[in-house]
Structure 1
Amino acid sequence: MEEDMFCYIHEGGQLVKCVGGSVQYQGGRSESMVVSRHMSHSDFISKLCDALHFDQNSVKLEFTIKFEPSCLLPLHDDAALLKMFRFNEMFCHVYVSSSSEVVEGCIAPNSAPSPIVGSNSAHLLPFGGDLPINIYNDSLTIESYRFSHRCAEVNILERDSRRFENSIMGSGHTFSNAAEFHDAVYLMSIASRFRYRFKRNSTKHMTVVCTVTQCPWKVTARAIGDSNIVQVHTFHNHHNHSLEDVAACQPLVRSNRASLLIDDVIRSTPDYQPRQICKDFQRQHGMQLTYLQAWNIKEKANERIYGEPKYYYKLLPWMCEKMVATNPGSIVELGHSSDGHFEQLFVAHSVSIQGFAMGCRPIIAIDSAHMSGPYRGALFSATAYDANDAMFPLAFGMMNSENYDDWSWFLQNLKKLVGDKEVVIISDRHPTLLCSVPEVFGLENHAYCYRHLKENFSSFLSKHNTRGNKGKENALQFLDSIAYARLEHDYNVSMSELRKYNDALAKWVEENEPEHWAMSKFPNKDGIK
């Protein structure tokens, strides 16, 4: 704990909760001072009143804590001052009001100390309503009565999760099944800001209690007969938490339950982003999420609304038929394993096939990317080049992995698309492609992607070059001149220069099949013009 703390002093204004859920102090004036945690309450009052020119006998002090800035807590003795230090870090906020503002009868005299009692499910009281019970000046309550009145007067917006406080109405409340009861308990814990556990949990009998020791909150539910319907048997909706309990027992983030809070948003806004979910949970429910938690919550919400992704695979045969029916001339192939599980998919739309035949060069670049998600797999793609050297999407496929069988199947379907037209296939030097491409399109029509090859050369260069960054740049320029030389003479001159520069680099070029990437050496030069 730091020895000193920066203290903001606010006087003459009011706390207002904004639409975003944050609390701001509006009006009045603000001062600041540095206080020591060893300072007594009387010394703190004296220093504050000297700074604000107040009479020590006419002020009422309250403070806020970091994890619940919307609640005012009384600052009336040394113990409260110590709590202000303990539950804040580098700075704190103290609010000063005249003692005449205190509602008569709201704060009892200091004659008898009271237990620390706070209701996590406290509602904002309407102006002029009944006073809350068990709220004394020595009681470090979670929300003071005077602050509740102030909230009502300035129309403070409650947390959105407050609407779930009555998820369980009481004894006799029925649910269609145990899962629905579990959801109701979780939503209630979010609204009332507490953590729970199951003492007993089966489809026929469930007992849920608050995790705080000796807290009376409890709910039991039992199945009705042999049905799945669950009915609440007993319900004690009252909490007994200290300030330490509130800090230690914040609701847990359970993706499958918390996703209930965003179902409506996902239906209306499917592109709801995890970062926005983090912000909205903090603003609406007072919960801090990590990006991964928010992503999991969105995935669970999508599963509940649209079903689990694994069931989508059953729709693939229907989808393939519809693609061919609505786009005549398309090539759509679907492959299954012997036990009927999905393995391969190839799609080439008719507009892509026609565009390739009418306006593209006879060059096709193929590549793959690993897919994330629960089922993984690989996404294969075939891209052509139009007359302006712009990329033209031709076909794509979904496969189990980047293996020989899948690439061979993909290339054979691509061959159907090309027909008798001779094309050059550009790829990286993946071992499976070195075998499958020559088998389907011929060895003379297989070109290596120069970018990948240049990266390999650069890695090799880093291990054998001793001339620094400038020397590396020179070697890469030599490689460019070798690759782009259109005449055999130019190729030989560039190779001679590279050999003089570094014989090991020249040997690397010769060993890496320049006939598949150097323009002057490529057998099918006409195909890449």
Structure 2
Amino acid sequence: MVVKKIITICQSGGEFETDADGVISYKGGDAHAMEIDDKLKFKDLKSEVAEMFGCNLGTVAVKYFLPGNKKTLISISNDKDLKRMIKFHNDSDTAEIYVVTEEVAAPDVSQMPGSRSSRTTLSEAGVGVPVEPSRSTINNIVDDINEPDPLVDSTFDVVGDTNVSTEVPVPSDFPTPIAFASPYDEKLAKAAQQWQNNITGVGQRFNSVHEFREALRKYAIAHQFAFKYKKNDSHRVTVKCKAEGCQWRVHASRLSTTPLICIKKMNPTHTCEGSVLATGYQATRSWVASIIKEKLKVFPNYKPKDIVTDIKEEYGVQLNYFQAWRGKEIAKEQLQGSYKEAYSQLPYLCEKIMETNPGSLASFATKEDSSFHHLFVSFRASLYGFEQGCRPLLFLDSIFLKSKYQGSLLAATAADADDGFFPVAFAIVNVESDENWKWFLQQLKTALSTTPRGLTFVADREKGLKESIAEIFQGQEVYHAYCLRYLSEQLIRDLKGQFSHEVKRIIIQDMFTAAHAPTEQIFYKCVDSIKAISVTAYNWIMQSDPTHWANAFFQGARYNHMTSNFGELFYSWVSDAHELPITQLVDAIRTKIMELVYSRHMEALDWMRRLTPSMEKKLEKENLNVRALEVVSLGDRIEVRFENSVQIVNVDRWECSCRVWQLTGLPCCHAIAVIMCLQRDPYDFCSRYFTTESYRLTYAETLNPISNSDGPMWQKGESTQIVTVTPPPTRRPPGRPTTKRVSSQEVGRRQLQCSRCKGIGHNKSTCKEFLLEC
């Protein structure tokens, strides 16, 4: 594996300057270049830059900017920070780091009037010591508290509102930035020093109450104290230090006839001593969101536990997991848009899809209470590609969406001429149910201009699909092939604890072999081996409609595709974007389909063979076995012999008694031997669905963007009817959602086995059989 190296420009000796917009630039100093990768240790980096610039190793600090963000300097203080920096710059060839020498001072903080350090040391206050958050702590995490605090002394109450400011002179010993005694404290001061002067005193104005509150929170974090509200409404805010008896307090109110908020009174001096530091109290969800938003934009999988660690290291604020998680949710909504508003945009989205991609079908439905029910989308390019170039074969499957309002995505995918997946249609539904699957199939039938003759669905037999397919496509040549993955999982569940894991694995293996068996003789041989192990399993298999899943009996054509999760790559697209609002999720899928169509269209331009590359390899593999075969012509009957076996080939009907030709669509070795004896071309006897021409037809149409370049996305059009759509009532369940999708290759692997009921897939602590018995 090749390790990517990043050229790092190391700068030192200059100065940081901040412009009016808060953008930080670095002026002057020297610069050197070096290569780094994710194998480099922080101590080695620090030693090298210290030697590079002739610095004392103990005073070296290394910082950097996130890509696209020049407003916040990020510190590198350990191996984890260094790896993050490299990961953030993974898409770049270069990165800039700044080497700063910081002398660690230990001033007599007790002599600094008004500073928090004059009351308690950081070690006494417990800064940086993780504590288990209490319920009351979580309940205190609120953005705005509108009720007055009954514990606050009422002597500072401000009655009414006035434009006349009561002058409170700011003393000369107003709290100033402090250099803390330990390296950790020094880093804290550096990270928060940009907020030390957020509150300057009487007369300072703010554009809104919200802006004042945010400035106040950051000021409190920078100066390491906690405050509480006495009054907090849309036109006035009064706060005091949370420490009992402390005289620090601020009152701000609105200037009449304006939206401006002005500080009218302020006592900037803290008189409390020995109080418990509670910086986490001021770390509201919105504050956490504002801190992590830029980093989340670069690193979407930023985990709450990493947020807790980073904010503690950079700002000295101890969060709990809940605060970090809620802050991330708010930041995501700020970056991606409102999840709730996205549902109201669905009418405009459907209109835009059909307007920008004529021939597409996009429809949605709501329930009686206007809550979202389901959305169906099939692009013209997908429908054309399926009808013109793909086999009449559709795979139906679903994936659970882990978004704010949950739901599921139902999808129909096809197989192109090179055996690659091809998205045909998808739907987002409030819940996976028999009703929604039936609705999806009705929409799919409407989207297809004509139902292809001999259309085969590979799908689960549960969820109402067995009945829905038969009902909706009644009277048409449509077949339903049961998904072997779901079928084998059902068998394992029904067997429960009767057999050991090893025995169940053998039964599943024999079942898969029986399903692939091309002839009835081989099928019965496989199931007889199951019968020798378990008559119960044998009876279950024989009663599960083998005509719908065994090659030996199935009447349709599924080209040896046995499971419905053919489009794993498609489901991975959805998994990558499942946290987006519904309209953005649809556009993310459209973008992926557009990229897929374009890349495969361009790829096929260089193909010079008659068949696609994967089919050429399969044909060549069969051709290797031709030399050992003997062709004997007996009038209309042509036999192909090899040792003791004899196969009969009918070239005109494209049939061989081994049935491989009929099952795959490509001539088997027996058929190729006969075709060559007749001096004909084997390519003429390959299914047209495997040709390069069919592949190019599949990817001939392009998808067009559906966003509105002249205004907001999904802007209402003149023809759009006013339809109210609200989010579904379901919400994301508690706990961490599942991240792994079970693949067909995992069937038959070792599974968790319960020691109580001997069942598969759970342990005794979650055994439902035991709970039912109790």
Q: 2:509 — aligned with what?
A: 477
1:280-291 to structure 2, matched below 5 A, reads: 280-289=310-319
Q: Taking CA–CA contacts closer than 8 Å with sequence separation of 6 or more, which of the two structures ends up with the larger relative contact order?
A: 2
Task: Give the letter aligned to residue 285 of structure 1.
Answer: Y
Shift of 1:226: 7.2
Report which stretch shifted further, 232-241 or 409-418. Answer: 232-241
Q: 1:123 — aligned with what?
A: 177
**Partner SS for 2:392:** strand
2:556 is the alignment partner of 1:524? yes
2:542 is the alignment partner of 1:510? yes
The unaligned stretches of length 5 or more in structure 1 are 1-11, 25-68, 76-81, 91-118, 126-141
**Partner SS for 2:289:** helix
Q: 2:349 aligns with which of 319, 324, 337?
A: 319
Shift of 1:270: 7.8
**Partner SS for 1:463:** coil
2:195 is the alignment partner of 1:164? yes
Query: For the structure 1 residues 169 and 304, does the alpha-carbon distance in structure 2 shift closer, same or farther, using more than 3 Å as the test?
Result: farther
The question of whether the paired residues in 1 share the 8 Å contact of 2:457 and 2:479 is answered with yes
2:483 is the alignment partner of 1:449? yes
Shift of 1:373: 2.9
Q: 1:238 — aligned with what?
A: 269
CA distance in 1, matches of 2:517, 2:438: 32
Task: Give the letter aligned to residue 404 of structure 1.
Answer: D
What TM-score do the two structures reach when normalised by structure 2? 0.47
The question of whether the paired residues in 2 share the 8 Å contact of 1:377 and 1:400 is answered with yes
The question of whether the paired residues in 1 share the 8 Å contact of 2:359 and 2:379 is answered with yes
1:59-138 to structure 2, matched below 5 A, reads: 72=106, 122-123=176-177
2:399 is the alignment partner of 1:369? yes
CA distance in 2, matches of 1:251, 1:515: 65
The question of whether the paired residues in 1 share the 8 Å contact of 2:378 and 2:424 is answered with yes
Q: 1:222 aligns with which of 250, 253, 264?
A: 253
CA distance in 2, matches of 1:335, 1:88: 53
1:18-97 to structure 2, matched below 5 A, reads: 18-19=62-63, 21=75, 72=106
2:187 is the alignment partner of 1:188? no
Task: Give the letter aligned to residue 196 of structure 1.
Answer: F
CA distance in 2, matches of 1:424, 1:193: 68
1:168-179 to structure 2, matched below 5 A, reads: 168-179=199-210
CA distance in 2, matches of 1:524, 1:375: 39
Shift of 1:158: 5.2
Shift of 1:502: 1.3
Q: 2:243 aligns with which of 181, 190, 212?
A: 212
Query: For the structure 1 residues 434 and 478, does the alpha-carbon distance in structure 2 shift closer, same or farther, using more than 3 Å as the test?
Result: same
**Partner SS for 1:299:** helix
Task: Give the letter aligned to residue 522 of structure 2.
Answer: D
Task: Give the letter aligned to residue 423 of structure 1.
Answer: L
Shift of 1:240: 4.6
Per-residue deviation, residues 135-177 of structure 1 (Å, max 9, x unmatched): xxxxxxx559xx9xxx8xxxx8953332122222322223343
Task: Give the letter aligned to residue 489 of structure 2.
Answer: E
Query: For the structure 1 residues 168 and 437, does the alpha-carbon distance in structure 2 shift closer, same or farther, using more than 3 Å as the test?
Result: farther
Shift of 1:324: 2.5
**Partner SS for 1:472:** helix
What TM-score do the two structures reach when normalised by structure 1? 0.67
2:370 is the alignment partner of 1:351? no
Shift of 1:73: 7.6
Q: 2:290 aligns with which of 260, 278, 295?
A: 260
**Partner SS for 1:238:** coil
The question of whether the paired residues in 2 share the 8 Å contact of 1:426 and 1:446 is answered with yes
Task: Give the letter aligned to residue 511 of structure 1.
Answer: Q
2:432 is the alignment partner of 1:402? yes
The question of whether the paired residues in 1 share the 8 Å contact of 2:127 and 2:316 is answered with no
Shift of 1:390: 2.5
CA distance in 1, matches of 2:271, 2:343: 51
CA distance in 1, matches of 2:416, 2:174: 66
Query: For the structure 1 residues 285 and 382, does the alpha-carbon distance in structure 2 shift closer, same or farther, using more than 3 Å as the test?
Result: same
The unaligned stretches of length 5 or more in structure 2 are 1-55, 64-73, 79-102, 110-120, 130-172, 561-662, 664-774
Shift of 1:320: 2.4
The question of whether the paired residues in 2 share the 8 Å contact of 1:265 and 1:272 is answered with no
Shift of 1:362: 1.8
**Partner SS for 1:159:** helix
**Partner SS for 2:445:** helix
Query: For the structure 1 residues 238 and 367, does the alpha-carbon distance in structure 2 shift closer, same or farther, using more than 3 Å as the test?
Result: farther
CA distance in 2, matches of 1:257, 1:526: 55
**Partner SS for 2:391:** strand
The question of whether the paired residues in 2 share the 8 Å contact of 1:21 and 1:283 is answered with no
Query: For the structure 1 residues 229 and 288, does the alpha-carbon distance in structure 2 shift closer, same or farther, using more than 3 Å as the test?
Result: same
CA distance in 2, matches of 1:396, 1:249: 48
The question of whether the paired residues in 2 share the 8 Å contact of 1:223 and 1:231 is answered with yes
The question of whether the paired residues in 2 share the 8 Å contact of 1:486 and 1:520 is answered with yes
Query: For the structure 1 residues 284 and 86, does the alpha-carbon distance in structure 2 shift closer, same or farther, using more than 3 Å as the test?
Result: closer
**Partner SS for 2:468:** helix
Shift of 1:471: 2.8
CA distance in 1, matches of 2:470, 2:517: 25
**Partner SS for 1:464:** coil
Query: For the structure 1 residues 383 and 83, does the alpha-carbon distance in structure 2 shift closer, same or farther, using more than 3 Å as the test?
Result: closer
The question of whether the paired residues in 2 share the 8 Å contact of 1:193 and 1:251 is answered with no
The question of whether the paired residues in 2 share the 8 Å contact of 1:211 and 1:249 is answered with no
CA distance in 1, matches of 2:220, 2:487: 58
Shift of 1:505: 1.0
**Partner SS for 2:485:** helix
CA distance in 2, matches of 1:349, 1:451: 29
Structure showing the higher strand proportion among its residues: 1
CA distance in 2, matches of 1:460, 1:477: 17
Per-residue deviation, residues 59-86 of structure 1 (Å, max 9, x unmatched): xxxxxxxxxx9774889xxxxxx99799
Query: For the structure 1 residues 302 and 495, does the alpha-carbon distance in structure 2 shift closer, same or farther, using more than 3 Å as the test?
Result: closer
**Partner SS for 1:413:** helix
Shift of 1:263: 4.9
2:369 is the alignment partner of 1:332? no
Shift of 1:450: 0.5
Query: For the structure 1 residues 237 and 321, does the alpha-carbon distance in structure 2 shift closer, same or farther, using more than 3 Å as the test?
Result: same
The question of whether the paired residues in 2 share the 8 Å contact of 1:217 and 1:239 is answered with yes
CA distance in 1, matches of 2:207, 2:194: 21
The count of aligned residue pairs is 412
**Partner SS for 1:434:** helix
2:330 is the alignment partner of 1:300? yes
Report which stretch shifted further, 334-343 or 192-201. Answer: 334-343
CA distance in 2, matches of 1:486, 1:176: 77
Task: Give the letter aligned to residue 177 of structure 2.
Answer: H
CA distance in 2, matches of 1:21, 1:243: 31
Query: For the structure 1 residues 143 and 286, does the alpha-carbon distance in structure 2 shift closer, same or farther, using more than 3 Å as the test?
Result: same
Identical counterparts, % of pairs: 27
The question of whether the paired residues in 2 share the 8 Å contact of 1:16 and 1:23 is answered with no
Shift of 1:281: 2.8
Q: 1:493 — aligned with what?
A: 525
Shift of 1:224: 3.7
Task: Give the letter aligned to residue 173 of structure 1.
Answer: Q
Task: Give the letter aligned to residue 347 of structure 1.
Answer: V
**Partner SS for 2:276:** helix
Task: Give the letter aligned to residue 273 of structure 1.
Answer: Y
CA distance in 1, matches of 2:409, 2:174: 50
Shift of 1:325: 3.0
